[in-house]
Structure 1
C-alpha cells in the first residue's frame, strides 16, 4: 500500500471516529505527496466541513472539481 493510501485509510478512520482535526492532518500530508488527486481534495474538504470551516471546505471541493469536472464524489 502506498504512503498516500495509508494516509487516506488512517484519515477515514479518524473521520469516522470524530477526530476531524487529526483526519485533516492525514489528508494534508497526502496532498503534499500528490496535489492533483481530486479525491484527496474532497477528503480534506469533508474534514474541514466537519470542523465547521465551511469556506475552506468549499475551496477544496472547488479544487477537486477543477482537477476533475466529472468527479462524482465532490460534496
Structure 2
C-alpha cells in the first residue's frame, strides 16, 4: 500500500471516530513519505482527537515548516 492509500484509509477511520487506528495509518504513510505536510497535518488531527495535544502541535508545526502556505484560503 502506498502513502496515499494509507492516508485515505486513515482519513476514513478519522471520520468514523477511530482515532487510534487512523493514527496508525498516518504513521505508516509517514514512514513512506516523511515530509508530506498533509500527512503530518492528518496525524496532528488524530493526535489532537486523542487528547495528545503536545504531539499534535509538533505535527502541525512541522507541517507548517515544510509548507508554510495556507492551501485552503481563497
Q: So what's the TM-score if we normalise by structure 2? A: 0.91
Q: Tell me if structure 2 keeps the 8 A contact 1:64–1:71.
A: no
Residues in 2 aligned to 1:53 and 1:72: alpha-carbon distance in whole angstroms: 25
Residues in 2 aligned to 1:55 and 1:43: alpha-carbon distance in whole angstroms: 15
Q: Tell me if structure 2 keeps the 8 A contact 1:46–1:57.
A: yes
Q: Count residues in correspondence.
A: 72
Q: Tell me if structure 2 keeps the 8 A contact 1:21–1:47.
A: yes
Q: Which residue of 1 aligns with 2:44?
A: 45
Shift of 1:71: 3.8
Q: Which residue of 2 aligns with 1:15?
A: 14
Q: So what's the TM-score if we normalise by structure 1? A: 0.90
RMSD: 1.2
- Structure 2 unaligned regions, length at least 5: none
Equivalent residues in 2 for 1:1-75, closer than 5 Å: 3-72=2-71
